Structure 1
Amino acid sequence: MSDERPPAEDFASVLNASRSGWNAAMGLRFVRATRDEVIGELEIGEAHRQPYGLVHGGVYAGIIEAAASVGAALDARAIGRGAVGLENHTSFLRAVREGMLRVVARPLARGRRTQVWEATVRDGEGRELASGRVRLLVVEPDVPIAGEAIAIDGEEDRR
C-alpha cells in the first residue's frame, strides 16, 4: 500500500472564511495552511494579556496548537482521517505586550497513527517569543471523541 500524499494545497482562505470557535475568539488568521506548513497571525489585544499586561502564555500555547492541529488535520484529511491533539509542550522565551504574533508550524514526524509538529512564534521584528511541539493522534472519522465522531471534509458528525 502506497503512503504517497497529494500535493500541498493552501487552505488558508477556506479556514479564514469559516473561522469560528477558539481561532475566531483569539483573532487568529491563517496566512498559509497546507499539510506541510501552517502560518498564522494574531494582533495582540486586551483579551490576550494577563494581569501584568504581558501576552498570556496560553495564547502562545494555543496558537502553536492551533497551527499544528490544522497542519496535521490537513495531512490526515488527505487519507480520509482527522487529527486531534495529545500533548503540547510550549516554552516561553520572550515577553511582549503588543504587536503582531506570527506562528509557523511544520511537521517533524507523520506516521499512520500519530504526528509531531514543531512551531515557533515570533513578533513583528522577527524575535522568537515561544517555541513548541505538539503530538497529535490520527483518527478514523467514525471514532467518537468526547462522545461524538469528528467531521472530516465538512461532513456532519457520524454517530
Structure 2
Amino acid sequence: MTPPEISFPLPVDELTGIFGSRSARPTLGGTMGIVMHEASAERLVATMPVDGNAQPYGLLHGGASCVLAETLGSIGSAIHAGPDALVVGIEINATHHRPATGGLVTGTATPVHLGRTLATYETVITDEAGKRVCTARLTCMIRRDG
C-alpha cells in the first residue's frame, strides 16, 4: 500500500515511504530520471527520458529499459511484501520490439504472481505514440527475517 503522504508525479528517489532508510542514497533509477506517476502492488506507472539514456546510435539503450522495468517491479514487490521485508531482483528478461529515439517512454508494470516468497511483474514500455518499445519481466525474492 502506498503511504498516504505520497502524491504523484514524484521522482523515484523520493519514494522513501516505501523503502524507509534503505532509500536514503541516490538510486540508478533516480539518476536516469525515472518519475513515478502511480504506485500500488497492482499497478505501477513511471516515465523515463530517452535523452541521457540512449546508446551511441541515439536509440533508447536496452539496459535503460531494463532499469525502468526493474525499478517498477522492485517497487511493486516492496509494496506487496510490506515494510518488514527485504526484496531483491533475482531474474529479469526483456524483449526490445522497436526503437525509441526521443521524448519520454512510459513503463506500466502489473503483477504476474504475488506470493509470499516471490513476486513477478510484467512491464510494458511504450513511446509517446503509445507504441510498444519493450516487454520485460522481473522476478523478485521476498525475504522476511524472523
- TM-score (norm. length: structure 1): 0.76
Quick one: distance in 1 between partners of 2:138 and 2:7?
20
Is the 8 Å Cα contact of residues 12 and 30 (structure 1) preserved in structure 2? no
Gaps of 5+ in 2: 16-25
Quick one: distance in 1 between partners of 2:93 and 2:65?
11
Give the superposition deviation at 1:61. 0.9
User: For 1:2-41, what aligned pairs fall within 5 Å after superposition?
Assistant: 8-9=1-2, 11=6, 13=8, 16=11, 18=14, 20-41=26-47
Gaps of 5+ in 1: 1-7, 143-159
Q: How many residues align?
A: 133
Structure index of larger Rg: 1
**Are 1:137 and 2:133 counterparts?**
no
User: Which stretches of structure 1, 4 residues or longer, exceed 6 Å deviation after superposition?
Assistant: none
State the Cα RMSD in Å. Answer: 2.1
Quick one: distance in 1 between partners of 2:76 and 2:102?
27
User: For 1:1-159, what aligned pairs fall within 5 Å after superposition?
Assistant: 8-9=1-2, 11=6, 13=8, 16=11, 18=14, 20-45=26-51, 47-77=52-82, 80-140=84-144
Alignment identity in percent?
23
Q: Which has the higher contact order (CA 8 A, sep 6+)?
A: 2
Quick one: distance in 1 between partners of 2:10 and 2:104?
19
Give the superposition deviation at 1:13. 4.3
Give the superposition deviation at 1:82. 2.6
Is the 8 Å Cα contact of residues 9 and 38 (structure 2) preserved in structure 1? no
